[in-house]
Amino acid sequence: MIRVREFDVEKDLKAVEEMESRCEVGPTDAGAGSNKKKKKRSMSLYVDLLGDPLCRVRHAPDHVMLVAEYGEKKEMVGVIRACIKMVTRGRTSSGFLPAYVRIAYILGLRVSPFHRRLGIGTKLVERVELWCAARGAEYAYMATDPANSASLNLFTRRLSYSRFRSPVLLAHPVHSHLLPLSPSVAVLRLPPSAAIALYSRLLPPSAVEFLPSDLPTLLSHDLTLSTFLAIPSSSSASSVITTNAFSLSDLPSSFAIMSLWDSTRVLRLRVAGAPPAARAALALLRTVDARAPWMRVPSIRDIFRPFGVYIMYGLHMAGPEGPRLMRSLCRLAHNAAVADENCAAVVAELGRGDPVRAAVPHWKRFSCEEDVWCMKRLRGGGDDAIHGDDWLASPPTTDVIFVDPREF
């Protein structure tokens, strides 16, 4: 009664959009009381892909979206996406470099709320795994909220995935007022060619996990607003750094770098189920902040209507002033978002042990302290098998995780 096949945009678009509009992508209130009993979730998060259900995987040459139909009427009851990419895995235990691996990212699994516990999710994942393995993926991984017990049970108990990494998602709301920037910090906007050259020196394959091999394409993408480099204003390095003819020795001892991605043109989020009192309180804060920006009231844009986010990626800092320079870049990202009425938050996802984490301003209430990534070995015989390494069984060799904003 369940049929899984590839997505047909002309035939399936309307049915997929209607089905996904009924699926929440995660709770926004999943705390637990002192007696460890779960609190009733009062709010839920929904996503709108703005008419392009393939937007999060389209960047990869090898990508797919599968749909599940149910019954004789072929009702649309489930979807799943996947893309295959080459990424770094840090330094391998054997010491073999460069440490790239062909990996599949499975995302966007949705099952109709009216057709759950029928094995639909299992069939979708198993079928997409076969598709990925047939195209050479050695591993598959997925990401989910730790409170999403249904997703975790499906992947870890039924489908043999293992918990692999737990990055943190840091979010800061966009206010109506601009945040002040320090005159002691000089911020340089790097052209893509200079950004590519700088990242290639700062992020060698052995120093970071999940860095995509097509990073130059990402940095040159229309949705990458720019790459910014913050240095002390007293430095004289700016004239050299903005060109391609520089080395790391041209950088001052303290600096910070960040690229900014505009996801508002790709997807919108919406919070549903908030109490009327919460809506009224946030609306009052917005009004005060808009009419008296000099008061710097920490307001929040209307998240109960569809909103987008800006994503900071490729964050890296060095030197004793690195944290201060990184905070300046985060403020710059916030101020860029203020001018975009569709943006309600600026977010960054980082490895738990990444030193940049402590320098990124965020609101704990809007952040996620553990974004659970689970992984599974799909096939043997790849580069890892040749060199006697299994990424899944190896301890991490770096605290730095690169999170691709195209897959947010």
pTM flag (> 0.85): yes
- Which pairs from 378-382 meet CB under 8 Å and 24+ separation? 378/104, 378/129, 378/132, 378/133, 378/137, 378/138, 378/139, 378/140, 379/133, 379/137, 379/138, 382/101, 382/102, 382/136, 382/138
- CB-side exposure of 128: number of CA atoms within 13 Å? 35
Distance between CA atoms of 257 and 252, rounded to whole angstroms? Answer: 12
The answer to whether residues 170 and 358 touch, using CB atoms and an 8 Å cutoff, is no
Query: Which has more pLDDT, 268 or 28?
Result: 268
Distance between CA atoms of 234 and 102, rounded to whole angstroms? Answer: 44
The answer to whether residues 100 and 138 touch, using CB atoms and an 8 Å cutoff, is no
Q: Backbone dihedral region of 232: left (phi > 0), alpha (psi from -120 to 50 degrees) or beta?
A: beta
Q: Which CATH architecture has domain 2-24+42-166+371-393?
A: 3-Layer(aba) Sandwich (3.40)
Task: Give 171-366's CATH code, choosing from 1.10.3470, 3.90.1750, 3.40.630, 1.10.260.
Answer: 3.40.630
Q: Per-residue pLDDT for 306 more than 90?
A: yes
Distance between CA atoms of 374 and 12, rounded to whole angstroms? Answer: 29
Phi, psi (deg, nearest 5) at residue 204: -70, 155
pLDDT at 35: 39
| Number of other CB atoms surrounding residue 196 within 10 Å | 18
List pLDDT tens digits, range 276-304.
998 899 999 999 988 998 888 889 999 99
Residue 136, both tokens: 């050479």
Query: Which has more pLDDT, 33 or 60?
Result: 60
List pLDDT tens digits, range 353-393.
999 999 999 999 899 999 999 999 997 655 555 555 789 98
Phi, psi (deg, nearest 5) at residue 17: -60, -40
Residue 59, both tokens: 């960047």
- CATH 3.40.630.30 residue ranges in the chain? 2-24+42-166+371-393
Q: Per-residue pLDDT for 37 more than 70?
A: no
The answer to whether residues 78 and 124 touch, using CB atoms and an 8 Å cutoff, is yes
pLDDT at 81: 97
Looking at the chain, the whole-number percentage of residues with pLDDT higher than 90 is: 71
Query: Which has more pLDDT, 37 or 2?
Result: 2
Query: Which has more pLDDT, 278 or 215?
Result: 215
pLDDT at 395: 87
Q: Per-residue pLDDT for 396 more than 80?
A: yes
Phi, psi (deg, nearest 5) at residue 406: -65, -20
List pLDDT tens digits, range 225-249.
999 999 999 887 665 565 555 666 7
Distance between CA atoms of 90 and 143, rounded to whole angstroms? Answer: 19
For all residues of the chain together, what is the average pLDDT?
A: 89
List pLDDT tens digits, range 84-126.
999 999 876 666 555 789 999 999 999 998 998 899 999 999 9
